[in-house]
């Protein structure tokens, strides 16, 4: 382990002996010096079996969780104390590379040269270091910038069940952020499929943004201890670029629910009594320990966008509820909108942002966003009447609301750069000013004579006119 080889802390070698193994939980006996909590211990040939101390259960015993599979570990085997916690590599050399939780490169890109190793267990920045200024973080995605503006240095959650587009939305944001903000992106994959990591690496390489990003992965098949610590490793890398290099950092976590799930597994293996719905009693503390390190300081900002899997689409699940409490914006993905082809499938009425106030986004943006939400909410209420009686039975003013809402829904769709090869639509990056102008003109009934399809999957609103003219020419062509 490269991280372990670096850390001996100039202390005398401290050895113990394995006394019990229960799945991923390992009990170790030490004759004299007990290693502190979070110490990394290693065993086996070449020290390839790695465990972390989580509990001192007696004068001579520590209880540990395995960060690697425990096959080959047996009672009586010698265990070596590394003399320190788990470490992560930091430095400019980690850009364009892919790592596991131990800081080993897994992209076949050769050894790291100029890096420093830092503990993954770090304190959040103090209140005196934090910036008190609220700024908007533009993504180039219309529906997010208009209705759910993100905070620079804040945390945004992507909520949704399986298969509604969380990972696609994250990869699009990486593409837009690196191209637009010239900052650094750190992608943290917690308990994700191995093919997703490989696909992401190739997509970022072909998009030309790999030189400005680093990736850290703990896959689905890795032990719960490894998945539980990979978020801290990624944050340590992000903190280096914020505090030492003074860059703005985009930290993407896919999926924060897997972090909670890994913590639940660790807690259960350690024999702790479960809390409601089987979650660990320490879930709130563990999540806060990770989330509070994501902050906007005087040196730079770490802006985090986190995919949150919602079990059975139940937003009252404790994992979803505790995650909500840390977020400045919640982007909720809707399976119904996805089935209607309205991508990104963001539910504009369930999604919200604490940034959407007059004092932060300005009067015009705030009023427009409120009008858009109001129009879409009225349309939702009218859907039942339309289903029973038909559109013709509505009052003229209600028909106008439906017309505006349906055109707004289609204008707020957007072709993505990362899905070009699947959809055939060229990706579009839309500025906030263009997105607001489009909504304003639709609300002013400027596009009533245009078919709804002219506004579907476009960038700025002027493309609707081009689409309309092209469609008309095609109809009249011999």
What residues are annotated to the active site? 166, 192-193
Query: Distance between CA atoms of 287 and 190, rounded to whole angstroms?
Result: 14
Q: Which residue has 């943004």 as its token pair?
A: 209
Cβ neighbours of residue 123 closer than 8 Å, sequence gap 6 or more: 293
Query: Distance between CA atoms of 234 and 308, rounded to whole angstroms?
Result: 17
Please give the span between the terminal C-alpha atoms of the chain, in angstroms, as a whole number.
70
Query: Distance between CA atoms of 262 and 171, rounded to whole angstroms?
Result: 24
Closest CA to 375 of 397, 344, 390, 343: 397
- Going by their DSSP bridges, the two strands 14-22 and 78-81 should be labelled as antiparallel
Query: Distance between CA atoms of 119 and 87, rounded to whole angstroms?
Result: 4
Closest CA to 237 of 422, 449, 3, 73: 3
Evaluate whether 249 touches 186 at the Cβ level (below 8 Å).
yes
Query: Distance between CA atoms of 66 and 390, rounded to whole angstroms?
Result: 62
> Is 353 strand, coil or helix?
strand
> Is 56 strand, coil or helix?
strand
Can you give 96-153 as a three-state secondary structure string?
A: CCEECCCCCECCCCCCCCCCEEEECCCCCCCHHHECCCCCEECCCCHHHHHHCCEECC
Query: Distance between CA atoms of 63 and 51, rounded to whole angstroms?
Result: 10
Closest CA to 157 of 169, 140, 146: 169
Query: Distance between CA atoms of 52 and 62, rounded to whole angstroms?
Result: 10
Q: At what angle do helices 396-411 and 363-389 cross, to 10 degrees?
A: 120
- Retrieve residue 384's tokens: 């039942």
């Amino acid at each position: 382990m490269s991280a372990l080889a670096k850390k001996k802390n100039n202390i005398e070698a401290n050895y113990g002996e394995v006394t019990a193994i229960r799945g991923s939980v390992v009990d170790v006996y030490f004759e004299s010096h007990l290693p502190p909590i979070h110490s990394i211990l290693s065993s086996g040939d070449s020290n390839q079996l790695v465990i972390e101390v989580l509990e001192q259960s007696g004068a001579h015993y520590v209880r540990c969780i395995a960060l690697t599979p425990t096959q080959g570990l047996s009672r009586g085997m010698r265990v070596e104390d590394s003399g320190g916690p788990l470490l992560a590599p930091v430095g400019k050399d980690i850009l364009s590379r892919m790592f596991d939780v131990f800081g080993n490169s897994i992209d076949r890109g050769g050894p790291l040269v100029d890096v420093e190793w830092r503990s993954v267990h770090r304190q959040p920045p103090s209140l005196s270091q934090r910036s008190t200024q609220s700024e908007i973080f533009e993504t180039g995605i219309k529906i997010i910038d208009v209705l759910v503006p993100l905070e620079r240095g804040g945390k945004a959650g992507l909520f949704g069940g399986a298969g509604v587009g969380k990972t696609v939305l994250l990869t699009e944001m990486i593409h837009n952020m690196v191209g637009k903000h010239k900052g650094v992106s750190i992608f943290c994959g917690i308990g994700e499929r191995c093919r997703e990591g490989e696909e992401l690496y190739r997509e970022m390489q072909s998009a030309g943004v790999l030189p400005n990003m680093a990736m850290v992965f703990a896959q689905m098949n890795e032990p719960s201890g490894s998945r539980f610590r990979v978020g801290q490793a990624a944050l340590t890398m992000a903190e280096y670029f914020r505090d030492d290099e003074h860059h703005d950092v985009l930290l993407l976590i896919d999926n924060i629910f897997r972090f909670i799930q890994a913590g639940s597994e660790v807690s259960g293996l350690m024999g702790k009594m479960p809390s409601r719905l089987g979650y660990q009693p320490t879930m709130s503390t563990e999540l806060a320990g990770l989330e509070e390190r994501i902050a906007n300081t005087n040196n730079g900002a770490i802006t985090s966008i986190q995919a949150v899997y919602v079990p059975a689409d139940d937003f009252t699940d404790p994992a979803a509820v505790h995650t909500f409490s840390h977020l400045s914006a919640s982007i909720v993905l809707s399976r119904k909108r996805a089935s209607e082809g309205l991508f990104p499938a963001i539910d504009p009425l369930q999604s919200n942002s604490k940034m959407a106030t007059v004092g932060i986004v300005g009067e015009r943006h705030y009023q427009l966003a409120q009008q858009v939400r109001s129009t879409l909410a009225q349309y939702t209420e009218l859907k039942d009447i339309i289903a029973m009686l038909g559109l013709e039975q509505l009052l003229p003013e209600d028909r106008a609301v439906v017309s505006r809402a349906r055109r707004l829904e289609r204008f707020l769709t957007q072709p993505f750069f990362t899905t070009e090869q699947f959809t055939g639509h060229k990706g579009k990056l839309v500025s906030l000013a263009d997105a607001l102008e489009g909504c304003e003109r639709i609300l002013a009934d400027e596009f009533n004579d245009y078919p709804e399809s002219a506004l579907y999957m476009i960038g700025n609103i002027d493309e609707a006119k081009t689409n309309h003219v092209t469609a008309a020419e095609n109809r009249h062509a011999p």
